[in-house]
Amino acid sequence: MNNSDGQFMHYLVRRLFPICRSLTGDGVRKTLAILGEYLPDLKVKEVPSGTQAFDWTVPNEWNIRDGYLIDPAGKKVIDFKNNNLHIVSYSESIDRTIGLKDLQSHLYSLPDMPDAIPYITSYYNQSWGFCLTQKQRDSLADGEYRAVIDSSLKPGSLTYADLIIHGECDREVLISTYVCHPSMANNELSGPVVSTMLAMYLSKQKNLRYTYRFVFVPETIGSIVYIQKNLNYLKEHVIAGFNVSCVGDDRSYSYLPSRLGNTLSDRVATHVLKHIDPNYRTHGFLERGSDERQYCSVGVDLPIASIMRSKYGTYPEYHTSKDDLDLVTPMGLEGGLNALRSCVSAIEVNRRYRCTQYCEPQMGKRGLYSELGTRSISHAIRMRMDILCYCDGNHSLLDIAELIGCSIGEVYPFANELEDYSLIERLD
């Protein structure tokens, strides 16, 4: 990991930031096209409006060209072009004159955060509205306003993409993130950007043991559509995975378990995070709120955990215009990438081993033990002996790392050495 990874990811966040994304529409397409510049094998797919997916129906496609509010003095006081959060997502097209009093029920602001524009959506209920800062709202003069939203909501399609990086076997690690949020940085451009970087990294690796599936979808409806199309395959092949969201600020690390709570993903995530930051925050599954809601739903139950920096809903800037390009930092993005990359590495090397003979081997004759018997032995010798003593076919390398109190990254080179000396043999 070098600093340029963080710089590159922050550049990519900045590049994607101005695009107005929503559940559907050209914003998602533009976003995926940019990601596709870095991921040549990314497959973009379209699902027609009206398609059924379990209990849901793919909604009409929404696109917006402009939106503004002109005050009684003729001044454009709210302008979509300044910030795409100003328009409630999926607002219907309007052009009307309306008194301030009637307008109020279409305005959304945050009294507690007077400088922040809230992020509001109305995907499944036809409506329209403007989001603005409380300060802007308080300064609105009485009188007649002209409210204009130039949008279209009509049959079209929902857009998503996926990318498969093939490994030695067809068992998969699933990485899912979402591409439906307008101009906000941690939630959610950090997810697609870190996922893209992780995919770029994995594409360059040789001899990947597992196959990696990256999924870029609009939240909720997108993952539901994806699950419906792939449920049986995913259930048979996915052995671990992560929902990637809010991985771009540099304040903390967070973990949210899968519904079942004890999957490989959960054990890897808690192991890796503990060794990156002993103070990482653990959330309960009841605090879920992203696409793990679908991946971990009853009967779907894919082994998907969430690794985050500051979790959605827990930081003050969440779902406002304050979740911006300053909140997300190169170092924050690097930390998110590093955590996920460490998880992937842990999954790759996590094998069960078995000693090839009874009793301790004579390490000394292989140069792996000190020549003299003294009062203490070195860390390396201790590591070799301790790893050996749990290579019983029941413990995975992750289990062994936990038992020994080291990270799997520290343990792996020793396990590899012991395998090279034929003192242990792999079972997986």
Q: What amino acid is encoded at 346 in this protein? A: A
Quick check: 21 and 32 in contact, CB under 8 A?
A: no
Among 44, 231, 380, 381, binds a copy of itself (CB under 8 A): 231
Any contact of residue 258 with a copy of itself (CB under 8 A)? no
Any idea of the CA torsion for 381, 386, 387, 390, to the nearest 10 degrees? 160
The span of 39-47, 166-174, 208-216, 221-229 binding a copy of itself (CB under 8 A) equals 221-229
In angstroms, what is the minimal distance from the CB of 210 to a copy of itself? 25
CB of 128 or CB of 255, closer to a copy of itself: 128
Q: How far apart are CA 128 and CA 149, in angstroms?
A: 8
CB of 209 closer than 8 Å to CB of 348: yes
Q: Of residues 259, 267, 322, 352, which one binds a copy of itself by CB under 8 A?
A: 259
| Interaction of residue 11 with a copy of itself, rule CB under 8 A | no
Q: Give yes or no for residue 251 binding a copy of itself (CB under 8 A).
A: no
User: Is 54 a residue that touches a copy of itself (CB under 8 A)?
Assistant: yes
Identity of the residue numbered 57: T
Q: What are the strands of the beta sheet with 254-256, ordered from one edge?
A: 43-48, 157-165, 211-217, 172-178, 238-244, 304-308, 254-256, 281-282
The neighbour count for residue 322, using CB atoms within 10 Å, is 20
Q: Minimal distance in Å, beta carbon 364 to a copy of itself? A: 5
Q: Residue 381: enclosing H or E segment and its boundaries?
A: helix 379-390
Q: Which residues contact 108 (CB under 8 A, 6 or more apart)?
A: 88, 118, 120, 129, 130, 131, 132
Name the residue nearer to a copy of itself (CB basis): 143 or 316: 316
What is the footprint of a copy of itself within residues 66-125 (CB under 8 A)?
88-89, 108, 118-125
Q: Measured between alpha carbons, how far apart are the two ends of the chain, in Å? A: 29
**Does residue 375 interact with a copy of itself by CB under 8 A?**
yes
Q: Which of 206, 278, 298, 379 binds a copy of itself (CB under 8 A)?
A: 298
Would you say 278 or 373 has its CB closer to a copy of itself? 373
**Is there binding between residue 403 and a copy of itself (CB under 8 A)?**
yes
| Burial annotation 343-359 (CB, 10 A radius, 16+ → b, else e) | bbbbbbbbbbbebeeee
Q: Is 408 helix (H, G, I), strand (E, B) or coil?
A: helix
425 counts as binding a copy of itself under rule CB under 8 A: no
Given a contact cutoff of 8 angstroms between Cβ atoms, the answer to whether 47 and 157 are in contact is yes
Applying CB under 8 A, among 102, 354, 416, 425 the residue interacting with a copy of itself is 354
Candidates 138-146, 150-158, 168-176, 361-369: pick the segment binding a copy of itself (CB under 8 A): 361-369
357: contact with a copy of itself by CB under 8 A: yes
Lay out the site mask for a copy of itself across 261-290 (x = CB under 8 A, - = otherwise).
------------------------xx-x--
Q: Is 89 exposed, middle or buried (0-12, 13-18, 19+ CB in 10 A)?
A: buried
- Both structure tokens of 271: 């192991």
Map tokens 């949020």 to a residue: 181
| Per-residue exposure over 214-235, b if at least 16 CB sit within 10 Å of its own CB, e if not | bbbbbbbbbbbbbbbebeeebe
299 binds a copy of itself (CB under 8 A): yes
Task: Find the part of the chain contacting a copy of itself (CB under 8 A) among 69-77, 161-169, 321-329, 372-380.
Answer: 372-380
Binding string, residues 120-159; x marks residues near a copy of itself by CB under 8 A: xxxxxx-x--------------------------------
Total interface residues for a copy of itself by CB under 8 A: 65
Site string for a copy of itself, 313-342 (x = CB under 8 A): x----xxx----------------------
Task: Candidates 2, 40, 55, 420: give the one binding a copy of itself (CB under 8 A).
Answer: 55
Encoded tokens for 62: 């929404």
Q: Which chain residues interact with a copy of itself by CB under 8 A? A: 53-57, 88-89, 108, 118-125, 127, 220, 223-224, 227-228, 231, 259, 285-286, 288, 293-294, 296-301, 313, 318-320, 354-355, 357-362, 364-365, 371-376, 385-386, 388-392, 403-405
